[in-house]
Structure formats: structure tokens, C-alpha cells
């Protein structure tokens, strides 16, 4: 019996990204985060999830290209979407996304060798296609580590 990794597929600024399901604790509706003074634009702020304070990253800002960043990408005024809660060591970290689409097997994604640089900073571990759409498989641990240094 072959075991396949499962992916949570999310849409962020019109693109589809996959996050390994084994890292996801739960998905909650978006709620307004309290901004942290001095935090970078990639940090949306803090939310309280049943008594646990969670740092929420804005994936729209983190995954934006340099051109999009200079055009003001990001959702500082975001009022809808979801927060994907991810276990990162002993911490719980949230990732704000526009929409959670589905859970699929990684084997369902036709991984390609195209040299697309969808995301700066090495946040993508693979790129493929699923149902005719480009899917970038995120290295969510690396993204969190880079932002929460």
C-alpha cells in the first residue's frame, strides 16, 4: 500500500498553492488580526484562537513578486478568507489565504520541471498542474522560519 501526502489547496491572489496537510492543525474563518508595532508587512498580526495567541502571516504579501510588492500587494484591509493554522515546532502559526479550495493527494498534481519562479525566496518546493491549473507546492516551514526570525 502506497501512502501519498495530502495537500490543502488554497487560493492566494489568484494563484493556487498546496500546503502539506500533515502540518495543518485546522482551518478557521478569517478574523481581524491585531497589528504588531514594528512587524513587517508579511505579519498580519495576532489573533486569539480559544485562548492561544497565534501570529498570522499574510501569504498574499509573502508570496507576491517584487513587482507586486511595489504595487502595494497585500490585504491589510482583508475582511474575508480563511486562516490555515499550522503547527511549527511548539508554536501555532496562522497563514491568511483568500480561499481554501480542497484537499487532494500530492500524487494528483502532475509535477513538472518548468523553471517558473512564482515565488521569491525559495518558498516553493515544486510546481505542477491539477485540473488545468498551475499549483505551487509551498515549503510552509521555510516560509514561517523566514518571516518569524
Angle at 48 between CA 43 and CA 53, to 5 degrees: 65
Strand order in the sheet with 43-49: 24-29, 82-88, 91-97, 52-58, 43-49
Could you read off the pLDDT tens digit of each residue along the chain, which spans 149 residues?
556 789 999 999 899 999 999 999 999 999 999 998 988 889 999 999 999 999 999 999 888 754 455 444 444 556 789 999 999 988 999 999 999 999 999 888 888 755 345 555 667 888 888 988 889 999 999 899 988 86
According to DSSP, residue 144 is labeled H
How far, in Å, CA of 44 to CA of 55, rounded?
8
Nearest to 105 by CA among 14, 18, 16, 1: 18
Domain coordinates of the chain in residue numbers? 6-147
6-147 belongs to which CATH class? mainly beta
Residue 55: all three cell numbers together: 501570529
Amino acid at each position: 500500500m502506497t501512502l501519498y501526502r495530502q495537500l490543502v489547496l488554497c487560493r492566494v491572489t489568484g494563484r493556487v498553492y498546496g500546503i502539506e496537510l500533515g502540518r495543518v492543525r485546522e482551518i478557521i474563518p478569517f478574523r481581524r488580526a491585531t497589528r504588531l508595532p514594528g512587524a513587517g508587512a508579511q505579519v498580519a498580526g495576532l489573533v486569539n484562537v480559544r485562548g492561544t495567541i497565534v501570529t498570522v502571516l499574510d501569504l498574499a504579501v509573502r508570496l507576491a513578486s517584487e513587482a507586486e510588492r511595489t504595487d502595494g500587494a497585500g490585504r491589510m484591509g482583508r475582511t474575508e478568507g480563511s486562516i490555515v493554522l499550522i503547527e511549527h515546532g511548539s508554536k501555532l502559526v496562522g497563514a491568511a489565504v483568500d480561499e481554501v479550495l480542497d484537499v487532494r493527494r500530492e500524487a494528483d498534481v502532475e509535477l513538472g520541471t518548468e523553471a517558473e519562479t512564482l515565488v521569491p525566496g525559495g518558498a516553493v518546493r515544486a510546481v505542477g498542474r491539477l485540473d488545468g491549473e498551475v499549483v505551487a507546492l509551498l515549503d510552509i516551514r521555510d516560509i514561517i522560519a523566514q518571516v518569524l526570525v
